Structure 1
């Protein structure tokens, strides 16, 4: 089975156990990393597939979210963790992460030319807005706000679809689709997938009205194309709390919710987040 092969880097790390759940990953997946056997006052740093691991206290152990960006190429990667739990050099651990292949669908869309062939001013606006979103997703709050399982943002809308789709718009290849789309009627309530703090409320060219929620330690979720927003920046929200309503603002062919998630700047499949089974 392809998955995570755990190997200690050197004997000095004996007594420390690292586990990943789930153990098999593909582009867009997220895995909960559990580190056992370290002192309460220890500091940990690490990385996987070019992205930092941000550790936090979790169920009497130490944990991090290991994210594999959805455009990561399949192959073997090295994860590394350094544990500083006393004087001297940190204890080093490492292992192999095998990213399995994943096939994404191709979607062909037809949109008004004004939404595709942008003038210079609109292009600058869209680029600046994308940069702002990347900045927000790259922020790390040293507090875990989420608890328990993540839930779908739209009730009774069925499973989201389209994550990772290679999009062809008006006959031309465009960027891949980095979220799940939930088909729902305009005005359908949209809820927070888990507890967090509202990091951004905005009305952007492509995403339309949007909300970004910071769940802590680098994990964010975002909700696009909203008809209305019912929360404010810096507001604390609970899992299942309404934050807005489904709409068709921005570049959208009809009412739906575009739901996206990321750990740092690694773009992940929100469905992988919904599959996590946290202990607390």
Structure 2
């Protein structure tokens, strides 16, 4: 883990509840942000360890994938956007050579977050789908979940994340509870960016294209694996300019805004996940893990 030089940044160290392991007394663990909300992503920083040490851990039972960082190690902890506020157990184990693992455990506080409610009235044909269409959509959703669940052990992203389009305005709608024709639907798990058809869509960071497809709800889509369980997906594209297994750079054009799939007009839908934890893509823009 030599060669990493951290930016000067204040870390708020969480109180450690040591599991009767005096050898772990010199190890420091920090979550940034220290008290995330549903949909946030925290950078978990472990310091005070040997350069050759291996770090493993989990937050609320979700495994963490660590990478060398700041003369220590770090991992991304995604807080799924349907997580209830409260205190969740985290566990870290540091393995250094042939010695017994040094174990630490503590609690991470997840703060409340209020999501909006959107009531829409649509033609009944857009709400009640044929059973074959529902079957297709379910299979496609399962394929996306399988892609998101894959964890590449290599860190492919570097530096700060960028917005997926250059059009003015922030994305909207993340976590919104939608009620269609009076019936509650699944909450909206991504950000929608208003943009004209043909606007360039770029990769928010470097990674590998792991899925290019045309699905019923998302339309033409691209999924990028950024490594260590982090994926981003781009829906409703008019055109796609990358192929599966392509390596892409941050800011590289991957397609054009469109209205394919179930879309009422041209816009870009972006979703992001750390493993199975569905996160707010906007949270990535505030993530600072520069070496």
Shift of 1:8: 4.1
Q: Distance in 1 between matches of 2:54 and 2:135?
A: 42
- Cα pair 1:166 1:174 within 8 Å, conserved: yes
Task: Give 1:52 shift.
Answer: 1.0
Provide the residue aligned with 1:20 in structure 2.
Answer: 31
> TM-score, normalising length from structure 2?
0.92
Where do 5+ consecutive residues of structure 1 fail to align? none
Whole-Å Cα distance in 2 between the matches of residues 112 and 15 of structure 1?
62
Partner SS, residue 13 of structure 1: helix
Partner of 2:130: 119
Pair 1:44-2:55 in alignment: yes
C-alpha offsets along residues 164-220 of structure 1, whole Å, 9 cap, x if unaligned? 000111221000001111000111110000000001001111111100000001000
The C-alpha deviation readout for 1:48-77, integer Å capped at 9, x for no partner, is 123111111124321100111000000111
Matches within 5 A, 1:191-210: 191-210=202-221
1:22 deviates by 1.5
Q: 2:15 aligns with which of 6, 10, 17?
A: 6
| 1:186–1:256 Cα contact (<8 Å) kept | yes
Q: Which moved more, 1:240-249 or 1:49-58?
A: 49-58
1:266 aligned partner:
277
Shift of 1:44: 1.8
SS in 1 for 2:289: coil
User: How far apart, in 2, do the equivalents of 1:138 and 1:184 lie?
Assistant: 30
* Cα gap change, 1:183 to 1:244, in 2 (>3 Å): same
Could you say which residue in structure 2 is the equivalent of 1:90? 101
Q: Pick one of 222, 239, 261 that aligns with 1:211.
A: 222
Report the 3-state secondary structure (helix = DSSP H, G, I; strand = E; otherwise coil) of the residue aligned with 2:15.
strand
The structure 1 residue matched to 2:79, chosen from 64, 68, 74, is: 68
Q: Which residue in the other structure is 2:69 paired with? A: 58
Contact 1:45/1:81 (8 A) holds in 2? yes
